[in-house]
Amino acid sequence: MDFNPSGKIYCLKRYKLIIFLILQIVTVRILAFFPEFIEKFYSNGFYKLLSEGSRKLFSAIGFSVGDVLYGLVIVFLIIRIIKKRKQWNFKFFVFGILNVVSVFYFLFNLLWGLNYYRIPLTEKMNLSYEYSYRQLLDYTAKLIEKSNTLHLEITRNDSAKVINPYSNQQIFEKSQNGYDKLVLNYPEFAYKKHCVKNSLISLPLSYMGFGGYLNPFTGEAQVNALLPKYTFPTTTLHEMAHQIGYASESEANFIGYLASISSDDIYFRYSGYIYALRYCLRNIEKMNPGKVEELLSEINYGILLNFEESKQFWEHYQTPIERFFRFFYDNFLKANAQQEGLETYSKFVGLLISYDKQVIQ
């Protein structure tokens, strides 16, 4: 049998990105067992410096660089596929996809993704995701009382819905205040170098069912510019939580809520309490559907009009595309240490109830 070392070297070069992908997956899975290391050296070390630097750089550019970057990548891939169409075969397709995934996976984890494996807030703040049905009802009653009070302060009419008077840009500018107030009690949530933008792909985001996203390659927080305005502040603050390194959706929800209710602005506080109230009502509906109707009768009619505004917005953009992306993102979250997938979002109710018990004590 002839031995051809040059052939093996060629083979390694040809498949180097695929081999690199396998090595990356193994490395990330090993790092997942060392959250203290990730917390100290990545989340509060390398990533912190990198993210603040990238936000400072891209904040000077008035449009979403990340959206443009995604567009250019898509165009590049389409052109490459067209050029290679005569060489097209299944092997070419699979190897091409794996090569792209390898590069994406490396940059994603280097620039942001390792935050999925940092020490969870449940450990750092002594919180829990667990709660009883009784605790959920009691906490929801508090949210209803607070929401009704804020609603009346704004509208002076319990039957009028809240209309946020700010432009999207004004909300972006005011969002820093919530973190400035929050950091007085929780230094770990410090936010510097503000960089939040309207997404250039807000319409596609609406059809995909997303209120916003963090671009891990530029560090920009992208918010769906078409969202109902009363929800806009807390969605913005949620994406900012991702920017400071909290990858878990339940944790970003929790931090965004805390920043909302810490704000000096009443529209931000209203947005935060309503945000939490909607999640609590959804969880109650899962446990006891009949109870929700009883609770809705205790909520100001104007608040229910805001709920209806959100419902109509998402129903307007609901298509099979949205269901596909929900399936895709559900599995994406599961692949990144969030085993509950999209249910991770609603898990933040447990953090709220646990935090509320701490505050009372």
pLDDT tens digits along 248-274:
999 999 999 999 999 999 999 999 999
Which secondary-structure segment (H or E) carries 213? Answer: strand 212-214
How would residue 99 be classed by pLDDT, with cut points 50, 70 and 90?
A: confident
Residues 6+ apart with CB under 8 A from 190: 179, 183, 244
As a whole number, mean pLDDT of residues 300-319 equals 92
What pLDDT sits at residue 11? 52
Measured distance CA(221)–CA(352) in Å, rounded: 24
User: Please, where are the H alpha helices in 32-182?
Assistant: 35-37, 47-59, 65-83, 90-111, 121-124, 133-155, 168-182
As a whole number, mean pLDDT of residues 33-42 equals 96
What pLDDT sits at residue 96? 78
User: Angle, nearest 10°, between helix axes 232-243 and 168-182?
Assistant: 60
Q: Kindly report the pTM of this predicted structure.
A: 0.88
How would residue 240 be classed by pLDDT, with cut points 50, 70 and 90?
A: very high
pLDDT at 63 over 60: yes
pLDDT at 13 over 70: no
How would residue 324 be classed by pLDDT, with cut points 50, 70 and 90?
A: low
- Which phi and psi (to 5°) does residue 119 adopt? -65, 125
pLDDT at 281 over 90: yes
Pair 124, 36: CB distance under 8 Å: no
Pair 197, 220: CB distance under 8 Å: yes
More confident residue, 98 or 165: 165
| Edge-to-edge strand list for the sheet holding 212-214 | 196-198, 221-223, 212-214
Taking the alpha carbons of 19, 77, 196, 206 in that order, is the dihedral positive or negative? negative
The two structure tokens encoding residue 31: 């790092």
Q: To the nearest whole number, what is the mean pLDDT of the chain?
A: 88
Share of the chain above pLDDT 70, in %: 86
